[in-house]
Chain A
């Protein structure tokens, strides 16, 4: 018996050594060829946002037949995508949050191209409570700060007359990894609640004062589904995919629009000013857009201005913001407004090798 275990141990050690050697060599090869992960212009590698992953999954086969270029995309999360393009292990990154100033500095001359329109949706799971509960930004902020702790709180009751709310304890669920959805969610709460803005603020990795963290959209969806009394936020496509309950959030006009493509488009139509860093913050659009969804967001492609694959990237991005948009509505992504498309074309033209 002892002989068996020691030889097994030896095999395990050997396997680990081989594995470590393989990792080491792959790591060193990718760093030595930094800047051009794959030598050919017939393949582009990207990584980042899980939110746009379903859209890119539609683009990839279509673009392969149209242009003969293979797109490989790793849905590692917005933060992971920013890291990947900063270290140049991919040809492009994708993030639902614009680069922070630290990230922009580290990325050394990266541009961000808004290439998809989407939304973050508040989801909850409380047994005995129907879908489409109404909430305001203020109540949401109080829930996530631990000031409202049970579902039958008068603040929630008064927004939902006629709904029988149980006294279940509220468990807020948030993203524990760097996430564009966290950025959208906390940007919205910062916009509507001064208290939230001063105590927590907006970030891809904010310091939530209460609740529990879960990894990636799928982790939040799973945590919400398995915890009675939970409330969290996920990218819009996960609502339908996991048949989660969605909360309707009050917009600046006082309405409770569903996160439909028209409501997201309405938000995009209301906000046209482009920030100096190339981002277009969409959360909490002005009251003039009566039916705009308040947690709408652009998702950005992030790419170094100077890239050895500039030509291939330019063609792919042009495809993504024009022909590629036609795949969007079926997946919950409305088409980009024409003003953004023309802005994008200028940014794309500035990419060079």
Chain B
């Protein structure tokens, strides 16, 4: 018995080594996934714990409260939620058509000589740190827009509600512009990728049937990538909702809703960034954490919605095909 064991082990050793490799792979990847999961749980727990005094004090009325006042120690997030939604949706309104246009241009229309450099530029834009964009917003974009673009719009379109008022180099409109610059590269590079991957026989086919380029884009390419496009837009939306630093720099941190799009406002993320260091009261700190809880919930909803829509559109497409 004792003499048999070594001879039996020999052929096994090769197998065993590969099994160790498999085990290591499974262990490392599994560990990474578990650590990420734990991190997420710990993060939510910690933020919720910090926010607890405010959740107890204000409960759901935090969502509708308009006052944010460290003197009276009363906090409400309505105007901040409003600011977050307006700036994010405003940025998407400008960024999405622009990004899809860039995607179509780069995948279909651009000559090869400019395709590569422009693609790289768009991706570089995504890599600019937001604090740099914010600084540029303060020093360059803000003064320019306030001196040249806003007075023009106010003079000619001031009769439209929310477009009147006084030009300002800090405010909602500036925040929307800065967020647009952040969202465009994300949506544009994803949509370029999507359009490039549309099977060329579909494109060629529609062209062969006499479709114009525009008809081909509209009726073949965009429906083909619909689900992915929605996911890309949602990705940009998530980015815009959560952006803090650059928005803080240009939105003008106001305590109330502005009368016009040019006036200062504030968003949830920007309020956290501006006030978290140096809160005057315990409850103020807790209320900022409450904002963070709301932001987490917002991002979760946006992501889940994106997956839901993308999945449904893909299924519908498969059903159609």
Contacts and interface: CB of A to CB of B under 8 A. Distances in A.
25 contacts: A5-B123, A12-B127, A77-B277, A78-B278, A79-B278, A79-B279, A80-B277, A81-B278, A82-B278, A102-B280, A102-B281, A178-B278, A200-B71, A201-B71, A202-B71, A203-B280, A204-B278, A207-B67, A210-B254, A212-B170, A213-B252, A213-B253, A222-B138, A226-B139, A226-B169
Q: How large is the interface on B (under 10, 10 to 19, 20 to 34, 35 or more residues)?
A: 35 or more
B119 A176 contact: no
A207 B68 contact: yes
A171 B277 CA distance: 26
B115 to A, nearest CB: 9
Contacts, number: 108
B277 A214 contact: no
Interface in A75-102: 76-83, 100, 102
Contacts of B279: 79, 83, 178, 205
Interface string A154-172: 0000000000000001010
A215 interface: yes
Contact of B252 (A12, A76, A209, A212): A212
A211 B258 CA distance: 10
A214 B253 contact: yes
A223 B138 CA distance: 8
B275 interface: yes
Interface in A208-228: 208-215, 222-223, 226-227
A212 B278 contact: no
Interface of B: 67-72, 116, 119, 123, 127, 138-139, 142-143, 146, 166, 168-171, 248-249, 252-256, 264, 266, 274-275, 277-284
Interface of A: 1, 5, 12, 76-83, 100, 102-103, 106, 169, 171, 176-179, 200-215, 222-223, 226-227
Contacts of B146: 227
B249 A1 contact: no
A213 B274 CA distance: 9
A272 B204 CA distance: 88
Could you say which of A1, A79, A207 has the most chain B C-beta atoms within 10 Å of its C-beta?
A: A207
Could you say which of A179, A214, A222 has the most chain B C-beta atoms within 10 Å of its C-beta?
A: A214
Contacts of B71: 200-203, 206-207
B166 to A, nearest CB: 5
A213 B138 contact: no
A176 B68 contact: no
A208 B255 contact: yes
B280 A100 contact: yes
A202 B71 CA distance: 7
B72 A201 contact: yes
